[in-house]
Amino acid sequence: MGEHSARHLRRILRLYLVGSGLADVSDAAELALTELVANVVRHVPGRRCRICFLLQPGGVRVEVADDCSELPAPAVGGGLGESGRGLVIVDAVADRWGVAVRPDGRGKTVWFECLSRAAPPAPRP
């Protein structure tokens, strides 16, 4: 994963969400994605991951999977450090998030969901 990867992934996610009628969750989803990608860059050896965008009824689920067994944890404490707030941000902007450990223990998937607050489109006559 290169230093410009987050920017390109945000652009792809925004296009996907806008094209799917979920523009109202785009800002939150882009921010949460950026934080998860930053965690991969900082904490995953080799900086390799797999990213999946999944449409769900009324929202989107984004999954970032890697082969590192180290589990992420939200920062605790004063919050004045230069790092450690990524999952706190994800928690603040996403409707739900979590971590799923692979059954073999050799990796994990960190995911979040952003739900649309927009009214559903009116049915066509």
CATH number at residue 52: 3.30.565.10
Per the structure, how many domains does the chain have? 1
* Residue 54 lies in domain: 5-115
- Residue 121 falls within a domain, yes or no? no
Q: What is the pTM of this model?
A: 0.86
Q: Is residue 124 part of a domain?
A: no
Assess if residue 123 is contained within a domain.
no
Lowest mean pLDDT among 42-51, 53-62, 116-125: 116-125
pLDDT band at residue 61 using 50, 70 and 90 as cut-offs:
very high
Number of Cα atoms under 13 Å in the Cβ half of residue 1: 25
- Please report whether residue 70 resides in a domain: yes
Note the pLDDT tens digit of each residue in 7-55. Answer: 999 999 999 999 999 999 999 999 999 999 999 998 899 999 999 999 9
Flag whether 17 is in a domain: yes
Asked whether residue 91 is assigned to any structural domain, the reply reads yes
Dump pLDDT digits (tens) for 83-108.
Answer: 568 899 999 999 999 999 998 888 99
